[in-house]
Amino acid sequence: MRSLDADVCVVGAGAGGAVVAAELAEGGARVVLLEQGAYHDPDGFTASPPEMLAHLYRDGGQSVTLGAPPIALPLGRGIGGTTLVNSGTCFRTPPRVLERWAREFGLQLDEASLRPCFERVERALSVREVTPELAGENAAVARRGAERLGWSHGYLKRNARGCVGSGVCAFGCPTSAKQHTGITYIPRAAAASAEIVTGADVHNVLVERGSARGVRARLAGGDALEVRARDVVLACGTIHTPLLLERSGLRDSSGQRGRNLALHPATAGFALMDETVDMARGVPQSFYIDEFADEGVMLEGVAGPPAYAAMALPLTGERHARAMARYRRLAQFGLMVSDASRGRVRSIAGRPIIRYDLCPEDMSRFRIGLARMEELFRAAGAREVYLPLPEGARPHSARARDLKLMAFHPLGTARADARATHGVTDGDLAVHGVPGLHLADGSVVPSALGVNPQMTIMALATRLAFSLLGQAVPASNPSPAPPTDQRPTKEKEIACRS
Amino acid sequence: MISAAPWPQRTALRVLLALDRRPRGAMLLASVPLAEQAASSMLALGRYDDPDVGRALGWDARAVVARGRALRRAEGRP
């Protein structure tokens, strides 16, 4: 068995883990970061959706929930985690959500206390608003519709630098413009001497006299690895963190572990326009309409190359072929529901089983959203509208089984709650009843946000890191990502094994 | 991509695709919209990923990748 010693062992190199690892390492802590997946070299990005789904996503992008309806839940895997394959949309946690967290979960996370965390993350990721030119014609269609209807809208903020609108954010950015954690925080962590080990499948947390003291993992080559550390931070993502807690034999006094899963279920519609749209030219997710956010419905841009569009287009047979022949004139827009439905994650034979049923309230939100989407496309001048419903079905009469849903934002399976009887972690993301064990991913987020969650996760991770360092979050700029290539190399892994 | 899926999805998708390729199988699938949708989405993904099909629709994946690589090299991006 190989062994490593550290002050802090972080598990997972996505939105939460990468941030914690970099901030702690730069603060002087000895950090070991374990990642189950690989480092993905951008030279291997081909802009081919099926190839990249197989390469960059967990389970080939074919994770799916069981329930009514089944929902595709694609998750990134590897250095950068889902930040490598998301759309890069950056929203701060809405104030109304923070107020709810204080009211219902006793969390002292107000706008003022989180502001330094958000500002620090936004500087580290070069967050800025997409320009209309870069957004492309697909966003222009939605903007035209929203303006004609008088709906509240805007261009999204994203973590991108030097973006040229390649149109394949979800399939590996070929220009490395998207500032995912694999090219921002991870190089900083490596430059600050964090030991980064890829291909490390963590089996359990080591617990001694009731406190976390490290983790035990299996390396890609088959060797066992034990990391001993004063503190352990789990950031394996909303689906896998509760399962790792369970595998570790930790008591769950709240009974909430694996429960309260929110997903932000989403779908997308298409419209045939008179003009050339070329939806994959520009930033796929660059524009939003928040007119119905208070009703739990957010409309956001979505687009992609022909293979992706063909997969998502809600038509079959001859109608599908006819619409695809006019791909250059197709526009697409998505809708996302801030869900009240709650699911559950369990492990059966070592695999996560995700149960999630859409509740009537959310079904009603989808009916509203689909009707609004059709209205939007018509107002923009669409010749035909293809809603994600079976032929002949209308939004107002849609049933759960009619919907073709995907979800990208799993949250809440180890929710934070100030009370140990109601949540898995406290407001400081420390696991109730297990000193030295902390969580830093979407699992701690106690409710749906109604907006893309990466900034919330990163801000909470920043707060956790500085809390472990015993420091306030500084107002100064974070370190720039090192100019040299600081990827976690095979040599690092070999060094760790030797 | 199908090979990368966990075995339950992998098996189900292979069965669906096999059914979809046969006239009687396709008829059977048509009676289960969810299954038909899954099969047709998967087939469409493969069909439209063909570089020639993509180029005919104004999308050139190779050019997008080449531009990305050139930009990364020229500007020292990761």
Q: Which residue has the higher pLDDT, A330 or B39?
A: A330
Q: Are residues A188 and A278 in the same domain?
A: no
Closest Cα in chain A to B50: A307
How many other β-carbons are positioned within 10 Å of the β-carbon of residue B78?
Answer: 20
Output the pLDDT for position B34. 78
Active-site residue identified among A40, A180, A409, A432:
A409
Q: Please indicate, yes or no, if residue A364 is contained in any of the structural domains.
A: yes
A250, A266: one domain:
no
Instruction: Return the residue of A nearest to B76 by Cα.
Output: A483
User: A224 and A302 share a domain?
Assistant: no
Residue A495 has pLDDT above 50, yes or no: no
Domain with residue A481: its CATH number is 3.50.50.60
Q: Count of CB contacts below 8 A, A vs B? A: 133
What does the alpha-carbon distance between residue A173 and residue A86 come to, in Å, rounded to a whole number? 10
Which of A177, A280, A404 shows the shortest C-beta gap to B37?
A404
Question: Same domain, yes or no, for A405 and A365?
Answer: yes
Q: Does residue A488 surpass a pLDDT of 60?
A: no
Give the three-class secondary structure for A122. helix
Give the pLDDT band of residue B2 (cuts 50, 70, 90): confident
Out of A366, A394, A410, a domain closes at: A410
Q: How confident is the model at residue A497 (pLDDT cuts 50, 70, 90)?
A: very low
State whether A215 and A328 are in the same domain: no
Place of tokens 């950090």: A31
Confidence of residue A490 (pLDDT cuts 50, 70, 90): low
A409 is catalytic: yes
| Beta-carbon separation of B37 and A305 below 8 A | no
CA distance B15 to chain A (A): 16
Closest CA to A233 of A441, A417, A75: A441
Interface of A with B in 160-189 (CB under 8 A): 162, 164, 166-168, 173-177, 183, 187
- What is the β-pairing status of strands A330-337 and A344-348? unpaired
Domain that holds residue A64: 54-75+130-158+261-410
The verdict on A366 and A498 lying in the same domain is no
* A139 shares its domain with A98: no
Question: What confidence score (pLDDT) does residue A486 get?
Answer: 52
- Chain B residues near residue A310 by CB distance under 8 angstroms: 44-45, 47-48
Q: Is A163 within the bounds of a domain?
A: no
b/e burial code for range A315-328 (CB count within 10 A of at least 16 → b) = bbeeebeebbeebb
Pick the closest to residue A182 from B62, B73, B77 (CA basis): B77
Query: A471 versus B23: which is more confidently predicted?
Result: A471
Q: Which residue in B54, B71, B77 is closest to A306 by CB distance?
A: B54
- What are the Cα distances from residue B45, in Å, to A126, A273, B56? 33, 23, 16
Cβ contact B49–A174 (<8 Å): no
d(CA A148, CA A146): 5
Task: List Cα–Cα distances, A83 to A16, A89, A183, A410, B75, in angstroms.
Answer: 10, 10, 10, 13, 22
> A327 and B58 in contact by Cβ < 8 A?
yes
Q: What is the CATH number of the domain that holds A324?
A: 3.30.560.10
Exposure of A130 by Cβ count < 10 A (0-12 exposed, 13-18 middle, 19+ buried)?
buried
Residue carrying structure tokens 């370190």: A479
A429 and A372, same structural domain? no
B26: chain A residues, CB-CB within 8 Å: none
- Tokens standing for A203? 């089996």
Q: What is the ipTM of this complex?
A: 0.92
Would you give the DSSP letter of residue A219? E
- Domain end among A391, A410, A429: A410
Query: Is the pTM value of this prediction over 0.80?
Result: yes
Q: Is the pLDDT of residue A3 over 90?
A: yes
Asked if residue A335 and residue A203 are part of one domain, the reply reads no
Among the candidates A359, A386, A410, a domain finishes at A410
Is residue A243, in this structure, part of any structural domain at all? yes
Q: Tens digit of pLDDT for each residue in A86-122?
A: 999 999 999 999 999 999 999 999 999 999 999 999 9
Mean pLDDT of chain A: 95
Residues A2 and A15 in one domain: yes
The count of domains in chain A is 2
Which residues, 6 or more positions from A115, have their beta carbon under 8 angstroms from its beta carbon? none
Same domain, A429 and A486: yes
Residue A170 is assigned to a structural domain of this protein = no
Domain contains A174: no
Cα separation, A384 vs A407, in Å, equals 26
Q: What is the pLDDT of residues A348-401, one digit of tens each?
A: 988 999 999 999 999 999 999 999 999 999 999 999 999 999 888 999 999 998
Closest A-chain CA to B20: A317
A164 part of a folded domain: no
pLDDT (average), residues A42-68: 95
Quote the pLDDT of residue A498.
29
